[in-house]
C-alpha cells in the first residue's frame, strides 16, 4: 500500500505482533532530509526517494516528518519463504486471521508473542534503487 506522512506528522511508538514477514518501505516522494525519519529499535533512518529500507516489524519504532513536504512511501510486507507448502499455508493463514486480533502492547518492556520472543535483533537494510 501507499502511505503518506504529512508535514508535522508523527507515528507514535509501536510494533506489530507477528514476525511472519519482513517489512519494506520504498521512498517515492520524500523530503530527502534527516528530519523525516523512522527510528526502528533505536536506529534512525531518513527516507530518501528511490531508496528502500527493510526491517523486522516486531521491533519498537516510531516515525516523524518535521519538514514542510509530504512523505510518500510504498509500504509492503515481503513473504517469508518457507521450505514446505503446508508451512507457507500456515504462515499465510496465521498472519492474516488471528494475528489481527492479537496486537501486542506498544510499550517498551512488554512481553512479545512466542513467535518473536526468541529474536534478539531487528534487521534493517537500506537498499538504493538501481537506475
Count of domains observed in the chain: 1
Which residues fall within 8 angstroms of residue 101, CB to CB, at 6 or more apart? none
CA separation for the pair 20, 18 (Å, rounded)? 6
pLDDT tens for residues 67-118? 999 999 998 888 777 889 998 888 777 766 655 565 556 566 655 544 444 3
pLDDT above 70 for 21: yes
pLDDT above 80 for 13: yes
Mean pLDDT, the chain, integer = 80
Lowest mean pLDDT across 30-44, 85-99, 112-126: 112-126
Query: How confident is residue 46, by pLDDT bands cut at 50, 70 and 90?
Result: very high
Mean local confidence (pLDDT), 13-40: 91
CA separation for the pair 98, 7 (Å, rounded)? 35
Q: Residue 120: what pLDDT?
A: 39
CATH number, domain with residue 70: 2.60.120.330
Q: Residue 66: what pLDDT?
A: 98
CA separation for the pair 89, 23 (Å, rounded)? 19
CA separation for the pair 92, 56 (Å, rounded)? 17
Domain of residue 23 covers 2-128
Secondary structure class of 120 (helix, strand, coil):
coil
Amino acid at each position: 500500500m501507499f502511505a503518506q506522512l504529512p508535514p508535522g506528522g508523527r507515528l507514535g511508538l509501536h510494533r506489530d505482533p507477528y514476525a511472519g514477514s519482513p517489512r519494506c518501505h520504498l521512498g517515492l516522494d520524500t523530503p530527502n532530509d534527516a528530519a523525516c525519519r523512522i527510528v526502528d529499535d533505536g536506529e534512525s533512518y531518513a527516507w530518501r526517494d528511490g531508496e528502500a529500507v527493510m526491517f523486522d516489524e516486531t521491533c519498537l519504532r516510531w516515525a516523524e516528518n518535521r519538514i514542510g513536504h509530504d512523505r510518500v512511501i510504498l509500504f509492503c510486507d515481503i513473504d517469508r519463504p518457507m521450505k514446505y507448502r503446508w508451512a507457507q499455508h500456515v504462515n499465510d493463514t496465521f498472519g492474516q486471521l488471528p494475528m489481527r486480533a492479537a496486537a501486542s502492547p506498544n510499550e517498551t518492556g512488554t512481553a512479545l508473542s512466542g513467535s518473536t520472543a526468541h529474536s534478539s535483533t531487528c534487521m534493517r537494510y537500506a537498499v538504493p534503487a538501481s537506475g
